[in-house]
Amino acid sequence: MSERKVERTASQSEALTDEEAERQIRRKSRRSFLLGAVTVAVAGSGWWKLRSLAPGSKEAQDLGDVAWPFRRALETNEKLSRAYFRDGRPAPTFPRKEAKEPRLNAQVGLPEEFDPAAWKLSLLGLKDMSAATATDEDPTPAVRLPIEAIKAFPKADMTVELKCIEGWADVVNWGGTPFAEFLKRYPPPTKSGKPVDLDNRLDDLPQYVALETPDGEYYVGLDIASAVHPQTLLCYEMNGEDLPLNHGAPLRLAIPVKYGIKNLQRIGTIRYTDERPKDYWAERGYDWYAGH
């Protein structure tokens, strides 16, 4: 074969190779585009499925506006927090001199028009409801206590951090009565019918405590173990002074083993229950347990 023929054959081969390369590039580009489109469609369909599963079905369990996969993640966090929780693991305390006025939390449930002199704490789910009364504003029978009755209980104080779930923390000195002492004086019925024994028979009590502001606009739920933790206080003092109105006067919850979203300001109602209570921020996508 002559040199000219060899050169022509090689040139034709190179031309064919270039054309084939272009065809392959076009084919791969179309394939990549189709694969990407299918991936997006499948992902979008899966996301829509996750968001649209019916609450209460075998496949889903929604709470508020949180789809079940994310709620499952929050429930896993709760299990870990519960496993770590112990009465003997208190939140850190600080020197009294480090205490300051904390930043204001959300003011939901704290209307500007409020008469502290007319305030009374309503108790529901008690063992003894003989003192229960009803009013036109609240026809549900309840035991109602003025702030003076609560101040008559043994007093405790603590200097701890108020931790916001948004990331900030302020050291505050709280003064009030331990919730455990309050529960002993106004106990719920026990499952066994025996007297309350917080040291040995905590499971004999209702599982939860529900708390609400007087207007019912803000509400939290606590597991009973957290409610009777030694550092859980019904507070009427802050930094050695009467609790200010904008921080929940005349009575608020201070529970340093929980984030600030659980530290309800201006308690209007306390209710013992075996039914898991509703919770304002859990309905808005946060962890119901909210421990740290």
- State the pLDDT at residue 287: 86
d(CA 179, CA 211): 12
- State the pLDDT at residue 96: 97
Pairing mode, if any, of strands 269-273 and 121-124? parallel
177 backbone dihedrals φ, ψ, rounded to 5°: -105, 135
d(CA 264, CA 216): 12
Q: In a 3-state reduction of DSSP, which class is residue 210?
A: strand
- State the pLDDT at residue 139: 85
Output the pTM of the full model. 0.74
Contact indicator for 141, 156 with CB cutoff of 8 Å = no
- State the pLDDT at residue 1: 54
Report the run of H or E that residue 234 belongs to, with start and end.
strand 233-238
Strands across the sheet with 121-124, in order?
Answer: 143-145, 121-124, 269-273, 208-212, 219-223
- What topology is assigned to 89-284 in CATH? Sulfite Oxidase; Chain A, domain 2 (3.90.420)
Task: Give pLDDT < 50 ranges for the chain.
Answer: 5-6, 8, 10-13, 53-63
- State the pLDDT at residue 88: 61
